[in-house]
Amino acid sequence: MSAPGVEIDRVSFGYGSTKILDDVSLRVEKGEFFAFLGPSGSGKTTLLRLVAGFGVPNAGAVRVNGRDVTDVPPWKRNVGMVFQSYALWPHMTVAKNVAFGLERRDVPKAEIGKRVAAALDLVGLGAYGERRPAQLSGGQQQRVAVARTLVIEPDVLLLDEPLSNLDAKLRVEMRQEIRELQRKLGLTTIYVTHDQEEANAIADRIAVLDGGRIQQLGAPMDLYDRPANRFVAAFLGTANLIEGDLAADGNFRADRFALSGLTVPKPGKACVSFRPHDVTLSAEGRNLAGTIQHREFLGGNIRYVVTVGPHRVTVDTVHRRDSQVYDVGASVGLSIDASQASVLY
Amino acid sequence: MTLPAPRRVGLLARWETTPFHLICAGTVAAFLVAFLIVPVATVVFVAFWDGQSLTLVHFADFFRTSLMIEATWNSIYVALMAVIVATIIAVPLAYFTVRFRFKGAALIQTLGVIPLVMPPFVGAVAMQLVYGRNGSVNLLLMDWFGFRLPFMEGLNGVIFVQGLHYFPFILLNLSASLANIDSAMEESAQNLGASGWTLFSKIVFPLAMPGYIAGAALVFAKVFDDLATPLLLNVNNMLAPQAYLRITSVGLADPMGYVISTILVVLSVVAVWLSLLSLKNRDFATTQRGGGGLSKRELRTWEKFGAYAFIAVALILALSPHFGILMLSLATVWSFSVIPDAFTFAHYITVFRDAGGMMANTVLYCGVAALIDVVLGTMIAYLVLRTKLPFRQLIDQIAMAAVAVPGLVLGIGILRVYFDVKLPFSGESLATFWVMLAIAYAVRRLPYALRSCTAALQQLHRSLEEAAECLGGDKSVVMRKIVVPLMAGGILAGFVTSFATAAVELASTLLLVTRDASAPLSYGIYVYMQSAAGRGPGAALGVIAVVVVAIATWAAYRVAENDRARRAREGVAA
């Protein structure tokens, strides 16, 4: 079996007593598109920067294609990084920006010209070599940053929130382009984002980080369907989390809340998690009665917040013309699809 | 589960430092120790040293000598009065610019720059011809009204010349403070029922005070330390001239010069510290800024008349040294008359014939000094902002502390430390070797260049360097190809500022220059001005120096502005 593209082996990092990363391990396979997903302060960017060589872990090792690079400075790693701010050098032309890495590698001049042109063609900016970065739009600058990184044929491509400075429409276009480019070149890629939709859309696998630890690691759909803990359940999409007691027969009880038919990993204190669209509302209260607290019309959906005893349950109902709409203050019955719910501890 | 054993992280990695950075840090530290810390510490040490042990006997002598007591009081009196003169000119001007909407504001801004391009000693002699006992103004007063005003008599002369020169320090700081007062603060006070005097005393005055204190403390320190102006006006019973005369006539071993120098340094440090402290508070005010400045209103006609009259008087006063020196440089004979008898270019021809060497020396010394400043300034800025090297803040603070060291004291310190060090081959003293003068200039200007470089580097996003590192550039490549080119504007502005201010520094020049052949322009102005016959050529040299400084100041300003405009453009695009 060949060595993984990137291996992070029990890495810890921090300054003094503040821990930013705490015993993190993961493997990114060759050619895989991997995402670090987490809120700000989760340590995801720090972890990416350790792969690039900006900072040395306090413990653990970083390996690229099997080579231990923990103590190797960034300029000897051959790891390409695209920065959130693009970091194009304003005093150089686009072509000069792209040529920089090749010049450092003592590539002959004639070949530099060819490879720079090829890299710019690859991102669709073949005609822009003589421009200055300031003369380009945000999306074009982004492409130059990608070309500048790809031209050195890096062992790993690192992308640090590369789309966060673009408007929503361009963001979707660019992420598709990046993904196609990565597939074409077969590059091992790590992508950092705080946007769960972006991570879900683009990555083969995701590591969800919070508080300097990996909370869960897996394919996007698995993380959504089977969150390992409360954090992952709430961070990927919207989740209703209710604390209570789970009996061995699959009956879950909380203060004025009950749900039966759950699979039971372990009876006792537990937290049940279910998605807003796994709840259906009816005018008649059956097993669960609640009151509409709040209503938002979102177009395709109507989002209700329903109070059930002390709990607030978020419910999404598909909206169709003339379908039933509940007013704020109305009493409703809730039924929850237990087969879609997760039990967390 | 146990955690893996911690890795041994090397010191360099922990400090985010490479050997290249260590070389930079070593160079900077060696320079500061050799040419700032050791000379100044030596001066202070000698003041407390009787040859065998530490002693206060020199200070006791100082306070027993009536001339020294008189000199101390004179220096304090002159510095305080100069602050008052500067305040009287600056406060109304600052208030006009922020409070009223009228065209005079542009004039006031010009007023704030005019004095700065000409060091006070250059204009001092000319001021005597304009405002002195038998100068133009008093001759006219005598003719028309039958009395004279003692503008330039003794200490008055120093006060008058310095106050006119340094009022911009108060004007600029106070205007900045006033401009930072949000109109919302004023409006909310009015909304709560405050107006008129209450509004001014409770809101405007306290918020503007830090700026005023910052400016006034600097003026006090500058005047207190200044050697050149009293010397040129022949006022010797002040502290700085006494120190200079002691060292140059009694000799390097005379302890009194060191006692005075110690007093000058301590006072200067306190004043600069006070000034920085007040500015810190002002920064606090800017963080909650929203509206930008007090609400402005139109002036009523009679107010407009009053304001313009005040500006006119201030403008005439501020321009009189410039006007005087120009007249003097073009005059055949100017004595006991309102204007010179006749005009000539002879003095310019004389100085171009005789003083070409001095001009070349100035360009050489100040060029070297400015080069040292920007190289060290870039290194220090980089170490402080881009590494975690221990003591990096200390290096920055020591370099900045040079701003509080009077040229006189640095000159005495360098003489004392390096006088007995002989150069190989020529046998010349290291202290009087021209490179040492350039170094003394560099030390005193380093704070300005350093701030300029730090500002430039602060604007540089760190990822620009990291991107280059990722692509294979090591620290020195990144420095050469990315950091320095992108800092070029700030570095150039720092270079020009250092050059221009060094060109007119006199105190350390007087101490470190021994031969006319190695003398720069500032020394030439001083020497020429000593004799009545030399005044014309001295004034011509002064005009040349002022023109050079003015052009350089303007160039530095343009460079900085262009840089800011370029950044703004790129900021918009990105």
Q: What's A101's domain CATH number?
A: 3.40.50.300
A69 with A27, same domain?
yes
CATH code assigned at A243: 2.40.50.140
CB pairs under 8 A between A and B: 106
Q: Mean pLDDT, to the nearest integer, of B385-408?
A: 89
Asked if residue A149 lies in contact with residue A82, where contact means CB atoms within 8 angstroms, the answer is yes
Report the distance separating Cα B348 and Cα B357, nearest Å.
14
Contacts B569 to A, Cβ<8 Å: 134
Q: What is the pLDDT along chain A (345 residues), one digit of tens a residue?
A: 578 999 999 999 988 788 899 999 999 999 999 999 999 999 999 999 999 999 889 899 999 999 999 989 999 999 999 999 999 999 999 999 999 999 999 999 999 999 999 999 999 999 999 999 989 998 999 999 999 999 999 999 999 998 888 888 888 988 999 999 999 999 999 999 999 999 999 999 999 999 999 999 999 999 999 999 999 999 998 999 999 999 999 899 998 898 998 988 889 999 999 999 999 999 876 678 899 999 999 988 999 999 998 999 999 999 998 888 999 999 999 999 999 999 998
Give residue B570's pLDDT.
59
- B463 Cβ neighbours under 8 A, 6+ residues apart: A83, A84, A85, A87
A8 touches chain B (CB under 8 A): no
Report the distance separating Cα B195 and Cα B161, nearest Å.
38
- Banded pLDDT at B286 (limits 50, 70, 90): very low
Does residue A340 lie in a domain region? Answer: yes
A108 with A205, same domain?
yes
Report the distance separating Cα B530 and Cα B337, nearest Å.
21
Does residue A140 lie in a domain region? Answer: yes
Q: Is A325 helix (H, G, I), strand (E, B) or coil?
A: coil
A91 with A34, same domain?
yes
A175 with A320, same domain?
no
A32 with A179, same domain?
yes
The ipTM value here is: 0.85
A139 with A207, same domain?
yes
A270 with A202, same domain?
no
Does residue A278 lie in a domain region? Answer: yes
B573 touches chain A (CB under 8 A): yes
Q: 10 Å Cβ neighbour count for A226?
A: 12
Of the residues A225, A260, A276, the one at which a domain ends: A225
Give residue B150's pLDDT.
82
Nearest Cα of chain B lies from the Cα of A315 at a distance, in angstroms, of 41
Contacts A87 to B, Cβ<8 Å: 461, 463-464, 466-467
Does residue A86 lie in a domain region? Answer: yes
Q: Mean pLDDT, to the nearest integer, of B393-414?
A: 91
The residue of chain A nearest to residue B2, with distances taken between CA atoms, is: A23
Domain enclosing residue A208, as ranges:
6-225
Cβ pair B3:A23 closer than 8 A: yes
A282 phi/psi in degrees, rounded to 5: -140, 160
- Give bridge partners of residue A186 from the DSSP assignment: none
Give residue A286's pLDDT.
67
Give residue B315's pLDDT.
87
Does residue A230 lie in a domain region? Answer: no
> Tokens in use for B72?
């101390």
Q: What is the pTM of this model?
A: 0.80
A221 with A248, same domain?
no
> Tokens in use for B539?
């004034």
B428 phi/psi in degrees, rounded to 5: -70, 150
Give residue A100's pLDDT.
95
Does residue A130 lie in a domain region? Answer: yes
Number of H helices, E strands in chain A: 8, 20
| C-alpha triplet B93, B98, B103: angle, nearest 5° | 75
- Banded pLDDT at B288 (limits 50, 70, 90): very low
Report the distance separating Cα B433 and Cα B435, nearest Å.
6
Cβ pair A60:B474 closer than 8 A: no
Of the residues A191, A225, A259, the one at which a domain ends: A225
Does residue A17 lie in a domain region? Answer: yes
A201 with A110, same domain?
yes
Give residue B465's pLDDT.
93
* B378, B384, B389, B393: CA torsion to nearest 10: 120
For A30, which DSSP code? T
**H/E segment holding residue B229:** helix B228-232
A202 with A260, same domain?
no
Of the residues A193, A225, A257, the one at which a domain ends: A225
> Tokens in use for B141?
């007063």
Domains of chain A: total: 2
A144 with A174, same domain?
yes
Cβ pair A85:B486 closer than 8 A: no
Report the distance separating Cα B141 and Cα B135, nearest Å.
10
A212 touches chain B (CB under 8 A): no
The residue of chain B nearest to residue A52, with distances taken between CA atoms, is: B470
Cβ pair A87:B473 closer than 8 A: no
A242 with A218, same domain?
no
Does residue A303 lie in a domain region? Answer: yes
